[in-house]
Each structure stands twice: as C-alpha cells, then as structure tokens.
Structure 1
C-alpha cells in the first residue's frame, strides 16, 4: 500500500482529503505545519508527498528541497490556490512531479497521484538490469525526464555524447534552439552519472532578478536582509552531491558571473549574511540558446567562466535535423497527452500525419508537444483530425501547396535570406530571428551554398 503525506495548513480540507485517499487504498499521514512535516518525512519513508505551496512561516519551495534532500525518490505534487503558475513551474524545476490548482475534484487529484506513483515504478524498472535485445528506438520525454534514442543519425549521435560524458565529472555546456529539450538532456546526463542518487536541481537563470540571485544560488541566514525571515538553503547546497543545471546561463549579470566563477573554482560558498564557508560537491551542467563565444567577444560574458563551464559541449539538434524521429515523438506525446487528460485517442489521421511532415516546427519538441496536447483535448473520436490542429500548422501546408515546386529546402533558403537582409547581414541577429544558433545558421548557409 503506497504511503502518502499531506502537508496542508487548512485542517478541515486536509482531513477530508486524507479520508478520501484512505478510502481509495492509500496509507495517509497528515501535517498542518512544515515543522511537523519535516519531522515525519525524516522519520518515515513516503512514496508521495502532497503539499501546499503556501504554508505559514515556511517557504513551500524550500520544503520541496527539504523533502528531496531526505529522499530524492519521493514524488511530490504541489497544491496552490494562488494561480501562481510561475511558482508552480519553479517547483517542478526543483523536482516536483506536477502541480494542481485549487479547487480540484477528487478524481483529478487521484489521477495525479496514480500517474506520479506509476512514473516512479517505471523509473525503478528502468534502473533494473535490462534485456540486451530491448529496442532502442525510443523518444525524449521532457516531462518524464527520460532521454531515449531515435532512429535519426542526429539523435544517435546525441545519445552517444550523453553516454560518453555522463559517467565523468566534466562540466557540460548544452546548446541548441529553444524547445529542443536541453533540460531533458541535462537530466539524462545526471541520471546516467554516478551522482544519480542525489539531487538534480534545475535553475532558470533568466527568471532570477540579479538583486536576489546571490541568495538564490548560495542561500541566506535569518535577518540578513528585509524579508529573510528564516535561514534558507541556496541551489548550490540543495544540489550538493548531485547536479546543478543552470539554464539560460547567458542571462546572468556580470556580477553574478563573478560570484558563480568563484564558487566553481573554490567549491565553497557562503550564505548571504554569514561568514561560514560551506563546502559543496556538485557537477555543473549549463545550457543556452545564445552564442556565448560572441558574448565573450563583446564582453558581456566572462571568458574564464565560459571555459570553466565548457569542458564538454553538446549541441541539441533541432526537430528539422532529426525529422525521421517525428513519428516517434508524435506517438509518444500522444500517449503522454492521453495520460494527462484522461483520454484514449488512438492515433493521427493520414491528413494530420502529412501536415506534421510539411510543417517546419520552429518551436521544436515543445511546440510539437503543445500542438498534440491541444489536439487530444479537442478530439472526441479515436483519431486526431485536421480540425483539431492550430491554423498556423495546417495553413503552412496549404500555402506551400499553392506554389509549384516549392520544397521545404526552398522555403528554408528563402527564410534565411530574408532574415539576413532584415538584419543587414548580421549573422548573429539573423540567427536570433530564425530562432537557431549562429553555428546552425553557418551550417545551413554552407549546406545551401548561399552566395553572401
């Protein structure tokens, strides 16, 4: 019988939810305060914790880190009645399985709990010895934190790089277009490393105001500044022994870059307001969709930090570059959407498959996943039909059909030339307009033999 802990300061709601879950076959404990909860999850092992994001006298995100520090395998679902999607997403980056907004129905929370517990079971099966004949034609799942191999050469090469670098302690810089699955790759590196029993902490550097970045990275002590009502661990301490993933690292201010470099060099940190040094043992994985070499050249990114984080680099291919994998990704995201939405859609109509092949997917895997989830929600029959797709996806095919001999390559060449003209042939600006890296732009210019 799965063992659950509910952390909720609303006693009546907590007890009602506890009774409902007990009736559905779960062993459920309750806590009305963070302190009581900390005592319980340190004394007992829970399969899943259901916690309110807002608790009196304690930060819900910090409590999530506390839970993961005690037992990284415990699944956590965050409840919020504040419609703060940003905080809920941040909770997921810190290791929460998912979030659910209040008010919710009993069926909704039951589905979430079953899905979270099923995922942990699958993860345990994945870590067991595998049949050497098992198929390797698998997919990347950004939400379930799995990386598996596709059939394209680009996907196979990516997987080889992951297998090569994961067992080491080298710092890894992941580059690629937006939506290609950089965090998924970072987690795959962690999951295949000797640190996989410890925390994987993901941080979106672009979402941290520079004024509080020091506290976010290194923590603070009570009273060190206005609003510091209690001691708080930073991301470095939360990731101790494991992996710290810094997404969009190019967005860090120059001052924060200096602090980060010092921490990486010395492997020691100080909380804000404290003189005590704390040793940390972490692996750094970073990601960006910018050209950091150009940022180094123009002085906005420190060269010494760049070399520190770039012991090994991995470029994630765009969906266009691994187009053979599109059916695999589509089928996987369909199953995922069915599970998330409680649907049983069987597949895609022939027309939809053709539209998927014609569309150029500028948003990569993230766009594909969103399009499929929306389509599943709108589908009442067994198959996803054209009417369930956003107009921009199928209109692209229709406009292409109106032009004779207008191939995908012709379209791409036209877009590259248009972007270059619009940016006055500044390749860095053109790459940003096209939502690709400068390296990818150079490769495409050479591939199409564009005379510029």
Structure 2
C-alpha cells in the first residue's frame, strides 16, 4: 500500500484528503505544520507528499527544499489557494511534481497522485535496471592476455579475504570494475558495494559524505545524515582517486580503518562499522607519500594488497574481445544490429595507442555503431584521432620507456579533450573522468598552453 503524507494547516482539508485517499486504498497520514511534517519524514517512509504552499511555520518552497534534501526522489505536489505563475514555475524548478490550486478537484488530485507514483516507480525501476546492468558488466575486463589473466588470478586470491586493496592504473582502465569484481567474488557480495569519487569532494563535503553528520553540526545540516561508511555496512566501500583526500580527512580515515569506528560530524558518539576498503588511484601513492602529500601510515594500512590494471595498449590481445563486447552493448543501447568490425577496423584498433583506455574504446565503438549504416563497422566510421594518429609520435615512442609513453599519450588526450570542449575545464574533467584539481595539476605538469 502506497503511503502519502498530507500537509495543510486546515484540518478540514486534511480530513477530506485522508478520507479520499483511504477510499482509493492509500495509506494517508496528515499533519498541520512543516515542522510536524519534517519529523514524520525523518522517522517514516512515504511514497509521496501532498503539501499546502502557505503553512504557519514555513512557506511551500522552503519546505519543498528541505523535503528534497532528505528524499531527493520523493514526488511532492504543492497545493495553494493563491494561483501565481512565477511561484508555480519556481516550485517545478525546485523539484515539485506539480502545482495545483484550491478548491481541489478530487479526480484531478487522484490523477496527479497516480501519475507521480507511476513516474517514481519507473525511475526506481530504471535505477535498479541500471545497477543490474552495471553489475553484469563486472565481467567485461576479463581478457585473454597474460596481463588480464594475472589480474583475474589476483582478484580470485584476494576477494575471499578482508584485506584492503589498492588498485592502480591509468584513467579509464577499469579500476572500479576490478573493485566490483573483488566485492562480488567475496563473502560480502550480498551486502552493499558503495563507490565514492574522492576527487569530487571538498574537505568539508568529504567528512560529511564519508562519516555523516548530525543535525545542526554546520550551516545547512538540517537533518542527520548517514555517511558512506554506514551505508556500506557489511559490504565494500570503494574510494576512487583516494589521493585527492585532504590531510585532515586522511587522519579520520586512518582512525576508521584501525578502530573500525566512525564518528559523525558534530557527534561525540562512535558508531561501529564492518566495512572492507578498496581504493583506486591513477597515480603512484608511494610517490605521493615521499612528497608528503599522502600519509605514510594510511598508505601502509591500505596497501595490504595491490593490483595494477595495465593500460589497454599493453593488452593488445584483448582489444578485439573488448571491442566485440562493447559492440553488443552499443547495439542494445542504440537499437542497432551491427554484427562485426571489418578487418581494417580491427587492425586500426590494435595499432592505436588508446590514451583513454577501455573508456575511450567503448566510446569509439558506440560512435562507430551509431554511424554505421550497414551490419559491419567500416574504417570510415572511426574518429579522426584513430585514423590520423601522429606517426611522428610513434617514431619517438619506439625508443622511449613506458613512463614516457604514458605521459605523451596522457598529454595528447588532455589537449584533445580541451580542444573539443573549447577549453572548458569543468567539461574536460568530466569527459576525462577526473576531478578539476587533478586536471589543473596535469595541465601544469605537462605545461599545456591555455
């Protein structure tokens, strides 16, 4: 039975709506103020909120904002006796499902409620489908090359344990997929796998995101918040781009790992947590330790086992296998029926340096499938960066060591991405799947002219 919260300072309207909803087999609860509503929402699960705009303690937009901060996906329908287009537009922009005027039409209200609940259900189903698909993709990094087989062997060895794992590798090599495989091959597989992008977190946000906070602990903390350590209880917490965490957060993380306890910001109470930690980095953390950017004690606590995911250019035997897998995914996603790649395309794939690794390969395959009118991907469907890869760079690379090769490829990818987005650093960082801080550091490191 769907549960609906009605908020209105007019008891008559509350009683009328409760009676109407109960006749239609809804479980309806009613309160007369925003404060009461927020308490109800903290302690109970509701499927939808039906709220008056003008309440004795909050106006509708302020309450809407608070509800959305607590339950982002919950549909909210705003009711008012004062029709105002600007207010209605603002309400919709802030996340309201709909804005209706009084006197209420019972049929209209029921239609809106059913529509909102149906849409909410579809969104939840889509999210579950997305998560299921993501879980199914855990297998895609399994290749036949010796490098891939070694990764498989390491994952099989470490997954059943509770050891902390550092996964190193260039951007786009599939580090999160390797972390998921560790989780789903472990005894924790029935519990949550929680992924956190540390590169996207400021110092203040990182503390709240990882450890949670209590109401009133800082400006904007209007409710208690569960941290990701608590969300991952019994399962695996994956910290991507771990090297971006501030020194202060590193100290708190070390304590959480050593004592298996976390403390929400503003609280004096410890919470026991049982979480396995897997972290990823596209840089060598030992170098960061030597530079004083990463705590040595935390590094050794995390480095119980290390897996290095090799670049795609070092797994040439796997390229056709991965390309065919991405071909299947792209056909499903784009509703196409492309069956294969031409031999010339496969040859190009194997000779290209793939600075963006598996992520770049997937994007190239998706684009090629979209552009292919026939059942075969031909050379003409490939992007220019593959068709016209700089031969002079190839000549230089033949006499270079691996680190130099990686640096040249990474620099080229950054320059190419910046050019594509007209040097918009935020967009470039998103396309490269790194945070802005890392992008700025790379631009400075490679002396890229902006």
TM-score, reference length from structure 2: 0.63
Q: In the alignment, what sits opposite 1:383? A: 376
Structure 1 residue corresponding to 2:397, chosen from 412, 421, 431: 412
Asked if 1 retains the 8 angstrom alpha-carbon contact of 2:340 and 2:376, the reply is: yes
Asked if 2 retains the 8 angstrom alpha-carbon contact of 1:62 and 1:232, the reply is: no
- Normalized per residue, which structure has more helix? 2
Q: In the alignment, what sits opposite 2:55? A: none
Aligned-residue RMSD, C-alpha: 4.1
2: CA distance between counterparts of 1:166 and 1:192? 6
2:283 is paired with a residue whose SS is: coil
1:314 is paired with a residue whose SS is: strand
Asked if 1 retains the 8 angstrom alpha-carbon contact of 2:140 and 2:322, the reply is: no
Segments of 5+ residues of structure 2 without an aligned counterpart are 7-25, 30-36, 48-63, 74-91, 96-117, 414-450
Q: In the alignment, what sits opposite 1:242? A: 235
2: CA distance between counterparts of 1:418 and 1:265? 34
Cα distance change on mapping 1:418 and 1:189 into 2, 3 Å: closer
Q: In the alignment, what sits opposite 1:294? A: 287
Asked if 1 retains the 8 angstrom alpha-carbon contact of 2:166 and 2:303, the reply is: yes
2: CA distance between counterparts of 1:209 and 1:271? 17
Displacement after TM superposition at 1:351 (Å): 2.2
Structure 2 residue corresponding to 1:222, chosen from 215, 218, 233: 215
Verify: 1:324 aligned to 2:333, yes or no: no
2: CA distance between counterparts of 1:180 and 1:229? 39
Segments of 5+ residues of structure 1 without an aligned counterpart are 10-28, 42-54, 65-80, 85-105, 124-140, 421-427, 436-452
Asked if 1 retains the 8 angstrom alpha-carbon contact of 2:237 and 2:276, the reply is: yes
Cα-to-partner distance string for 1:148-187 (whole Å, 9 max, x where unaligned) = 5311111111000000000000000001111100000001
Cα distance change on mapping 1:369 and 1:172 into 2, 3 Å: same
1:57 is paired with a residue whose SS is: helix
Q: In the alignment, what sits opposite 2:152? A: 159
Structure 2 residue corresponding to 1:39, chosen from 36, 41, 45: 45
Cα distance change on mapping 1:429 and 1:115 into 2, 3 Å: closer
1: CA distance between counterparts of 2:338 and 2:28? 39
Verify: 1:254 aligned to 2:247, yes or no: yes
Displacement after TM superposition at 1:378 (Å): 2.0
Cα-to-partner distance string for 1:385-406 (whole Å, 9 max, x where unaligned) = 222221011112xx54xx8xx9
Alignment size in residue pairs = 329
2: CA distance between counterparts of 1:31 and 1:395? 64
Q: In the alignment, what sits opposite 1:354? A: 347
Displacement after TM superposition at 1:112 (Å): 11
Cα-to-partner distance string for 1:284-335 (whole Å, 9 max, x where unaligned) = 0011111111111121111100000000000001112211011110000011
Displacement after TM superposition at 1:232 (Å): 0.7
Structure 2 residue corresponding to 1:57, chosen from 49, 66, 72: 66
Cα-to-partner distance string for 1:69-115 (whole Å, 9 max, x where unaligned) = xxxxxxxxxxxx9899xxxxxxxxxxxxxxxxxxxxx9xx9899589
1: CA distance between counterparts of 2:296 and 2:136? 33
Displacement after TM superposition at 1:224 (Å): 1.2
Cα distance change on mapping 1:335 and 1:356 into 2, 3 Å: same
2: CA distance between counterparts of 1:211 and 1:146? 36
Cα distance change on mapping 1:237 and 1:363 into 2, 3 Å: same
Bigger drift between 294-303 and 110-119 goes to 110-119
Cα distance change on mapping 1:112 and 1:378 into 2, 3 Å: farther
TM-score, reference length from structure 1: 0.63
Bigger drift between 350-359 and 326-335 goes to 350-359
Q: In the alignment, what sits opposite 1:186? A: 179
